[in-house]
Amino acid sequence: MSNKNIELESFLVNHLQSSLIASCQPLDDGPMDKVEHIVAMALATVAGGAKALRIEGIENVRAVAKVSNIPIVGIVKRDLTDTEVRITPFIEDVIGLAEAGATIIAFDGTDRPRPVDRLTLLNTIHEHGCIAMADCADLAGGKFLHDAGCTFIGSTLSGYLDLSTTPNEPDYQLVSDLVSAGIKVIAEGRYNSPERAAKAIELGALCVTVGSAITRLEHITGWFVQSINNAKSDI
């Protein structure tokens, strides 16, 4: 990394220590899936104390960056026919996010068939003056990318590669294992309560990303409806 990147990395590590990253990603094609709503979500979560934002889509990153100087974790999600990798799979995604104003660029860090290899994406992120985050599913992937120079490792994809099962709890063990390996961990994935987020910090995570429990009204409403329906069935 360049000296400028090293300075940015140092700032971000200090800035994000024991903090919340708010993921402002509405359901695709839902009523909240509009640029102006995403900007409003972002500003509202910053007002609530979020220290960074995770934003999907180049247009959305550009719009949020225009109204806030808080660090943005930028991603692009794509549904491709020849790979299961969805998060920032292409070099042009990295370049577009960097030009739009992302501070950190996250990409799928799993060892799966992909259109562009992981190290090429990592190097492209650094070449464009941004800091890298790898969304990983296991310790091996996290260590590989950490050793290659990726600043932040997320537990983002743990539990999401095998679609036949859907875990309910966050992968606390993965967070602990990554922390024990000396890795700067961003805990992400099913941290949908204050208690779960606090536990990640207690385990040594640098910070925690929370999405659905803050910004997806459909999910939040559904949780309450399900709980009410369960209560009715017990009467």
Walk me through the domains of the chain, giving residue ranges and CATH numbers: 3-234 (3.20.20.70)
pTM: 0.96
pLDDT tens for the chain, 235 residues long, are: 889 899 999 999 999 999 999 999 999 999 999 999 999 999 999 999 999 999 999 999 999 999 999 999 999 999 999 999 999 999 999 999 999 999 999 999 999 999 999 999 999 999 999 999 999 999 999 999 999 999 999 999 999 987 667 789 999 999 999 999 999 999 999 999 999 999 999 999 999 999 999 999 999 999 999 999 999 776 6
Residue 233 confidence (pLDDT): 72
Q: 195: which residues sit within 8 A by CB, 6+ positions away?
A: none
**Cα 11 to chain centroid, rounded:** 19
Residue 235 confidence (pLDDT): 65
